[in-house]
Structure formats: structure tokens, C-alpha cells
Amino acid sequence: MKPKIIVIIAFFIITAIVFIGKLYYIQVLNVKYKLSAQNNAFRHVTQYPARGVIFDRNGKLLVYNEASYDLKAIPNRVGEFDTTLLCELLHLTQNEVRQTLRSGRHLPVVIAKQISPKQYAVLQEYLYRFPGFYAEKRTVRKYPESTAAHMLGYVGEVDRSDIDRDSYYRSGDYIGKSGVEKTYEEYLRGEKGVQIYVVDVLNRIQGSYRNGEYDTLAVAGKNITTTLDAELQKYGELLMSNKLGSIVAIEPHTGEILALVSSPSYDPNLFVGQQLSKNYNRVANLPDKPLYNRALKALYPPGSTFKPVSALIALQEEVIDPTTVFVVNGYNTGSHIVKDHIAGAVGLEMSISHSSNAYYCHVFKKILTDKKMGAVDKAYENWKQHLHAFGLGVKLGTDLAYESKGIIYPATYFDKYYGKGRWNHNTIISLAIGQGELGFTPLQIANMTAAIANRGYYFIPHIVKEIDSAKINKLYTVRQNTGIAERHFIPVVSGMEKVVTSGTARIAYHPDLFICGKTGTAQNPHGEDHSIFIAFAPKDDPKIAVVVYVENAGFGSTWAAPIASLMIEKYLTDTISRPLVEVRMINGRLKKEE
């Protein structure tokens, strides 16, 4: 035989051997294909993992799992059954059951979701009377403290976009929708398993296929320890009862969020089980928007709490020094007078302790007319970059979803609004006192306060401390510098101490806590001014930095300052030495009745 013929014959022989071998493997050796072919005799039951539990910084349980069950059916295997009995057991209508069964044929459909253990115990006695139906064990989240709803978030059913984005999910699965549940979903969800059962013609389980040889175990999700102090969080929510606003407390030396209060809030236990959809719609439609996370999303003018940062920028740019004095009696822009609380010669520390508006109008003028900066737009951009360095007007990168960026407009905004070269410091003088075209979140203002407490740096605020004892993302351990020299904080912090000891917030004074603070009253075009207070304590070794916003409440000293001081006292001493102040804050009703 010729060599070419031998090669051709060999090629066909080898090809035939390969095909025969592959067919033998598929039809005889590989059980996976046999399972697929015999699928009508088996039931593949997904084993859903227990979702990771969530603790506060002191080990207090904030979120755990409770058993629940989904009742499923494979429509083309459903035999005759007592529809009335099934509907009575599950509180369904016959029309609902029929429509669900008509929605599929060969694949399982969900008849009822998240059946409670008590309800399932009754159902289980009658399950044999419903051929083609079976129960699948699931879990629902439970919140023993009923607190920190905005921070913890909630779990809901996946939608089409979730399934398209991640192949892990199937229709009917659950996913974190907000808060820690959303941000740390991949850690909390665990890994699914599967059990394969042999079933008879009535769809009754006869046993595991091959003694579970092809089963896979579910892997529980990872447990998370948050930075939250549950007792401080509950206390903050109590103080904000019947009020609109927010409290954010941060540990300055780490950036760990100790409390994050958005008021009004809601009980997170409403968003579990069969009533989730109904409760969600009811809560979402309340006029005060309890689902809206004011701490992360609401944009408020900082008001006079902005003045310490203005002073620090001016000191760094050397347009003032700690001894700079302005003689004030309001500030004349040429078109109107910016009113002031005080008149006469005012120095730097006094400008903070007694919150002089005119002093900071002069400071702003010096910043924007600084000769080394050249044109006003360049000086303004330089000022804006200083604010960004404090984490203002930028997304901080916290590990909670839906953080707002805030508002600081570029110089081109004013060029467009007023005309190129047709605006100056007096045109935008309201920015000098934290009004006008500025809007920051409470989280950003709390972070700014932490940066002042640390004398020039901060760590990105974050809510998770550990994930199953593993260290957190390195991003949250990197020091973020403000670019302000440490020496400039000395007079500013001294002025903030005097705010509490002898200035506008004497109501926040506590002899043993050495609180430094700054009041603010932010103008609100939609009603009464907002009451604001920032503070940290103790002065020389700060353990907590806090901001309080109380909407439509007037002066910062009236509501925000006492609430902030009570939060500080609660955290540092675990006691309250001013019960009358506490009672007045708790019982204060500043929210309109619904």
C-alpha cells in the first residue's frame, strides 16, 4: 500500500476510536448526562447557605438568620389536589395558585415564599395531599435590636439586572439591597450547594441519589463585625425621636463610624418575610421619607460649622495669622450688609467662639484677592481644592452604598452665571459663612470634624471592622492628609474649645469631657433654619467626632449642640449627668404629625 493511503486509513481509524471513546464516556461513564436524561426521576434541591451574621464593635448581635420555607411545585407533575385546603393553609387565593401553576411546565415555580416555621409545621402534615408540591428551606433576616436600619440595609428578591450581572443568582434568590447587606453581599451570601433526590411517580422523595455522592454542601456566608456601637446608635435614634435630621459619629484615629442615624427611620424587621413588599410600599410612601438616608445623601449648607475650615485655609495660605484682628460691624459688600452677632475688634479665636460672620467675610476676601494666586478664578479653584482635601464636595469612598458627592461648583459655574470676569469675592460672599452654593452630607461634615480633631488628617469613614477576623480593605487604613500644617490647628482648636466653655454652645459644656465644637445655623429656603453642631472630645486625645443636623429647628445651640454633647457623654462615660437636658431632647417634637 502506498504511504498516502496508509496515512488516510490511519486518520479514519484514529478518528473512529476517538468518537467511539467519547460516546462510551458520555453514555456509560459520565453520570452527569445520565442524570440529565433521567431528570424526570430526580429532584435537584438547591441548598441555600446561611447568610453571614452581623455584629456591632462590641460583639452584640445585630442581624441573624431565622428558618423559613418556600413552597414550590413542578406544574407538569402536579396531580389533583385540594385547592381550597392549600389556600387556607397559606392564606392564598385560588386564582393566585392557578396563575402561578400556569406560569411554567417543567421547571419549579414558587407557590408561597418565606413561610414561617410555625406555618410550615402545619403545612407539612398535609404536604402528601399535594402531589407535585415540595418545600425548600430558606432563611430570613432578623434584627434583635431593631436599630440601624439605614446602616445595615435589607435583603430582597433579585431582579433581572441582578441575574444578568452575576451568574450566581437565579430567579427567586435574595440579595442585599442597601447598607452593609448590599456592599458586602459577596461575603455575606456564602456558596450554594445541591442535593439530588430520587422521587417516585407521585413526586415523593425515595432517598438520595447514590447516597449523596454527587451532592454538594452549601458554604455559609462570612460573619461581619461592624464599627457601630449599638448602644450609641440606639441612643442617637432615641434623641432624634420626632425630629428630621441626622447624627454621624466617627472615631477620629481610625475613621470607624460609631453611629449613623437618619431620622425618621424604620424597623428593619418590617422588611423580612411575606410582608416585605407590602411593608416596603407603605414605608416608602410616608411623607417624611424614612427610607431616605439623610446621613449619606442629604445635602445641607454647612453654615457656621464651616468657619474653622475657612480659618485653616487662610492660615495655610498665609493671608492671616493667629493674631489677625478685624474690626467688624457687619460686612458691606457694596450691595448689601452681611449681618453679624458681634461688633468691634475680633481676633481669630473669638471669631470661632462667638461665630463672627463679618470676620470670615474678610477672610474670604483675602483668600480670593491673594496676589500670589493671580486672578480670582484661580484663587477660587485653589480654595476649592483645599475643601476637597478635607473630603468636602467629593465622594469619600465609604463602604456604604449611595453616598452623595456634595456641591462645590467650579469657577466656570460663576463665569457662566455672572459672566467671565464679572464676579469677585463679594459676588459669592455667602460662601464665606457656609451658605450659598455649598451642600455637604452629614457624613462629609463629620469627617471634616474628625480631620480637625486629628490636626490635619483623616481616614476614610467606614462601617466594617472585620470579616470573619480578616483585616478590612487597606483603603480604610491609609491616612488622608488635608495639606494644612499641624501648627495652624492650635488656635482653631482653642477657639472651638471656647465655643463650649464661653461661646455660642455653653449648653454643651461638661467639666470632664473637654469638648471642642462649633455651632451652625443653616438657612433653609423651604422653612425654618437647620440646627447644626460639630464637636469632638476630648480636646487633646479625641475619641469621638460627631455632627448633628436637626432640620427646621433654628439655632445650632438650641437642639443640635445638646444632642451632640449627650452623644459624646454617652460614648465616653456610658452615663448621662444632665437628665433634664436629656429629657428635653428626647421629648422635643419638631416633626409635623402625619
Q: Which of 359, 366, 367, 358 is nearest to 331 (CA)?
A: 358
| 569 in Cβ contact with 559 (< 8 Å) | no
| 75 in Cβ contact with 101 (< 8 Å) | yes
Q: What integer pLDDT is reported at residue 30 of this predicted model? A: 62
List C-alpha distances in Å: 216 to 37, 44, 48, 50, 280.
20, 11, 11, 15, 35
Give me the sign of the Cα torsion angle 458, 462, 465, 468. negative
CA dihedral 436, 530, 292, 400 (to 10 degrees): 70
Residue 53 DSSP class: P
Confidence band of 594 (pLDDT split at 50, 70, 90): very low
| 32 vs 408, higher pLDDT | 408
Q: What integer pLDDT is reported at residue 114 of this predicted model? A: 87
List C-alpha distances in Å: 537 to 5, 146, 305, 573.
93, 29, 16, 12
| 147 in Cβ contact with 233 (< 8 Å) | yes
Is 60 exceeded by the pLDDT of residue 438? yes
| 205 in Cβ contact with 198 (< 8 Å) | yes
Q: What integer pLDDT is reported at residue 37 of this predicted model? A: 47
Q: Which amino acid is at 25?
A: Y
| 119 in Cβ contact with 111 (< 8 Å) | no
Q: How many residues does the chain have?
A: 594
| 244 vs 200, higher pLDDT | 244
* HEC secondary structure over 193-251: EEEEEEECCCCCEEEEHHHHCCCECCECCCCEEECCCHHHHHHHHHHCCCCCEEEEEEE
Q: Which of 15, 57, 34 is nearest to 256 (CA)?
A: 57
Model confidence pLDDT, tens digit, residues 491-546: 999 999 999 999 999 999 999 999 999 999 887 766 788 899 999 999 999 999 99
Mean pLDDT lowest for which of 201-210, 274-283, 290-299, 567-576?
A: 201-210
Is 60 exceeded by the pLDDT of residue 558? yes
Q: What is the mean pLDDT of residues 416-430?
A: 95
Q: What integer pLDDT is reported at residue 222 of this predicted model? A: 95
Q: Can you give the pTM of this predicted structure?
A: 0.87
CA dihedral 385, 387, 390, 394 (to 10 degrees): -80
| 307 in Cβ contact with 355 (< 8 Å) | yes
Q: What integer pLDDT is reported at residue 9 of this predicted model? A: 77
Domain layout of the chain by residue ranges? 3-37, 43-226, 230-281+291-587
Interatomic CA distance for residues 130 and 107, integer angstroms: 17
* Burial class of residue 87 in the structure, from the number of CB atoms within 10 Å of its CB (0-12 exposed, 13-18 middle, 19+ buried): middle
Architecture of the domain made up of 230-281+291-587: 3-Layer(aba) Sandwich (3.40)
Q: What is the mean pLDDT of residues 361-388?
A: 95
Q: Which three cell numbers stand for residue 462?
A: 467606614
Is 80 exceeded by the pLDDT of residue 218? yes
Model confidence pLDDT, tens digit, residues 289-337: 999 999 999 999 999 999 999 999 999 999 999 999 999 999 999 889 9
Model confidence pLDDT, tens digit, residues 452-474: 999 999 999 999 999 997 778 89
Q: What is the mean pLDDT of residues 564-587?
A: 96
* Burial class of residue 347 in the structure, from the number of CB atoms within 10 Å of its CB (0-12 exposed, 13-18 middle, 19+ buried): middle
The string of DSSP codes covering 476-518 is: GGS-EE-S--GGGHHHHHHHHHHHHHTSTTGGG--TTT--EEE
Model confidence pLDDT, tens digit, residues 90-117: 989 999 999 999 887 777 889 998 898 8
Is 90 exceeded by the pLDDT of residue 562? yes
230-281+291-587 matches 43-226 in CATH topology: no
Q: Which CATH superfamily is domain 43-226 in?
A: Penicillin-binding protein 2a (Domain 2) (3.90.1310.10)
Q: What integer pLDDT is reported at residue 40 of this predicted model? A: 54
Mean pLDDT of the chain: 91
* Burial class of residue 180 in the structure, from the number of CB atoms within 10 Å of its CB (0-12 exposed, 13-18 middle, 19+ buried): buried
Interatomic CA distance for residues 302 and 318, integer angstroms: 24
Is 80 exceeded by the pLDDT of residue 485? yes
Is 70 exceeded by the pLDDT of residue 413? yes
Q: How many CB atoms lie within 10 A of CB 67?
A: 13
Confidence band of 207 (pLDDT split at 50, 70, 90): confident
Q: Which three cell numbers stand for residue 153?
A: 440595609
| 352 in Cβ contact with 496 (< 8 Å) | yes
Q: What is the mean pLDDT of residues 411-425?
A: 94
